[in-house]
Amino acid sequence: MSPLCPMPPSWVAELTALMGLFSVQGAASRPQAPCPGRCCCCGGCGAGPVLTVLVWEWPSRQVPDFSRDVCCEQYGIAGCRLSTDRRLLSQADVVVFLHTTLPRGRDELPRDRPQGQGWVWASLESPTNTRALAGWNQTFNWVMTYRRDSDIFMPYGKLVPNRSATVSIPTKTNLVSWVISNYHRTQKRAEVYKNLSRYLHVNIYGKAAKKPLCKDCLLPTTSKSKFYLAFENSIHQDYITEKLWRNSLLAGTVPVVLGPPRSNYEQFIPADSFIHVDDFGSLADLASFLKTMNSSRYRQFFAWQKRYSVKLYADWTERICTICATYPRLPQGHLYPDLQSWFNT
């Protein structure tokens, strides 16, 4: 196989199986997949319809090269053409608007859209950290967020089956660590940390602690701790971020979570893979539990590694590509009449 068309990662097959094969009614009117002078890693060039997804404004200065079939090559999703070229507006099947790049008002977006074109509102932030949405009523057909009830579900991470996995626990040199970039005393996590630190020592890193960690230093640092404070900056249903997926589970440490209720976490990860602050009547009890845990009990928290591995969603290109896999199941002819009310529920 040509190096220009690498084999997709193992989780791609699982993702494809979950999402189903890509098919769209009325596909005959859409352009067929181009066949460049190289292999096509998605089952043959020109084999099916192409969905054009226009990202109105990319979230970073460095825009990927979309001249290549990135969704196919990198993520195994066929028939998906991404672009940031607004000249393709009239041709786009889907237009994606990231909340962080939205203009101040609806008047700054196109007034008319081609019949059948769907607009997507995409956001990774919680309602607490999202500015007023009232001005965007009757604007978007679909929402793409971390919430499981979104039209396009976009989690920060997930566990994927991995039958060959074995338990691997990094060497530990300290009890608890926490990486914090923005510390606000009014946040619940600040209050919990302050009170918890009365009973045990917490190794703090990050910009807020004036101990920033480089990108390649984060996981090696947190992996040395037995426990990691996966405290969310705000508490909302399904708002479970990289603090759990990357900083703790992927690093090989046990997450002590502060966020939505335990029952919500258990919809994402096994019940015996984490510790919830609410499991204890007091923070003194929590601290005692952490400090006195023996090695046998500690190892039980890693049983999930025998069946799963962590899959992170940290790349906006991958997130946008999933729209094509989800497209056949999206409701047609729908507009969110009150986006703010939906997001705040």
Q: Which amino acid is at 203?
A: N
Q: What is the pLDDT of residues 217-250, one digit of tens each?
A: 999 999 999 999 999 999 999 999 999 999 999 9
Domain boundaries, the chain: 10-154+313-344, 162-312
DSSP class of residue 327 equals G
Buried b / exposed e along 76-99 (16+ C-beta atoms within 10 A): bbbbbbbbeeeeebeebbbbbbbb
Q: What is the pLDDT of residues 187-206, one digit of tens each?
A: 999 999 999 999 999 999 99
Nearest one of 120, 192, 160, 126 to 336, comparing CA atoms: 120
Tell me, what's the pLDDT at 134?
A: 87
CATH ID of 162-312, from 1.20.1740.10, 3.20.20.70, 3.40.50.11660, 3.30.70.3450: 3.40.50.11660
Tell me, what's the pLDDT at 43?
A: 55
User: Do residues 176 and 205 touch, judged by C-beta distance below 8 A?
Assistant: no
Q: Which H helix or E strand runs over 323?
A: helix 316-326
* Known catalytic membership, residue 125: yes
* Share above pLDDT 70 across residues of the chain, in percent, rounded to a whole number: 86
Q: Is 50 exceeded by the pLDDT of residue 41?
A: yes
CA 257 to chain centre: 17
Of the residues 73, 125, 232, 242, only one is catalytic, namely: 125
The whole-angstrom separation of Cα 167 and Cα 226 is 15
Handedness of CA 200, 202, 208, 209 (dihedral sign): positive
For 114-171, give the DSSP string: -TT-EEEEE--S-GGGS---GGGTTT-SEEEESSTTSSEE--SEEEEE-TT-------
